[in-house]
Amino acid sequence: MNTDTSLAPDTGDEVDTASAAADSITAPASWPMLYRRPVVLSSQLHAHWRVRQTGAAFAAGSHSIPLMIGEFADASRVYPLVFAGPEHLPIAVLGLEAQQNRFVIADQWQAGAYIPAYVRRYPFVFARTTDPDGYVLAIDADADMIVREGDEGQPLFEGDQPSAMTRHALQFCEAFTREDIATRAFSAALAEAGVLIERQADVVLADGRRHSLQGFHVVDPARLDALPDATLVHWHHQGWLAPVYFHLASLGRFADLATG
């Protein structure tokens, strides 16, 4: 039996403050992967909200996850890293079949496996303001880890001030946004240089079924080798060459997904 799965990640990362209003109900198509109802944090509306530890069940149905350029070295040892979507953004492949994450076991991320920053950031996310360069911190109000009443978990606010956890989340999201900008520049350079080619992964699963994973691009080594020296030197100075080679080395992890 042959089956196919396509990689079609969302291309947006932040939400806008209009769609992340405290009473938003309908999920806009632009909401990032994993997030169901982001709302902008407010010391008045969310004064008593807390966040408890619930593991990684929220990511169990994601067979891919966005990846930042600074994660390639660690992630390439565990996951195939490919480029997908209209902007050719990097993703880590977590499973070969739709809604299957091979790395979430009993609601916990597999011990010893690198956990992508996108996963570690959840349930927090930045919401873009009307200022082109402005962001405010938001949270997925429908996340299972949110506690609206009681003392379980850590508080979002202490009085009218952000708690230590919330301040850490803000710093994490700030760093994530900087990495996202750098990652988009890297992906754009690969696309502009013409080194990305469309590929599909054809594998035989452990139960004998043949399966194809489609809808992604990889760097073609021949096209990479044919680039002008000046381009390679520029990429080296930009810190882009090492991630390319980590990406190429990671493609061997497809076999691990098929047999793991």
Backbone angles phi, psi at 49, to 5 degrees: -70, 145
Domain boundaries, the chain: 2-259
Outline where 39-116 has alpha helix (H): 72-75
pLDDT tens per residue across span 167-214: 999 999 999 999 999 999 999 999 999 999 999 887 776 677 777 788
Structure confidence at residue 259 (pLDDT)? 76
DSSP label at residue 1? -
pLDDT in tens, 122-151: 999 998 877 766 889 999 999 999 999 999
Spans of the chain below 70 pLDDT? 1-31, 132-133, 205-206, 260
HSE of 59, CA atoms in CB hemisphere, 13 A = 29
Per-residue model confidence (pLDDT) at position 18: 44
Sequence-ordered strand ranges (E) for 130-231: 135-140, 146-147, 154-155, 157-158, 161-162, 196-204, 210-219
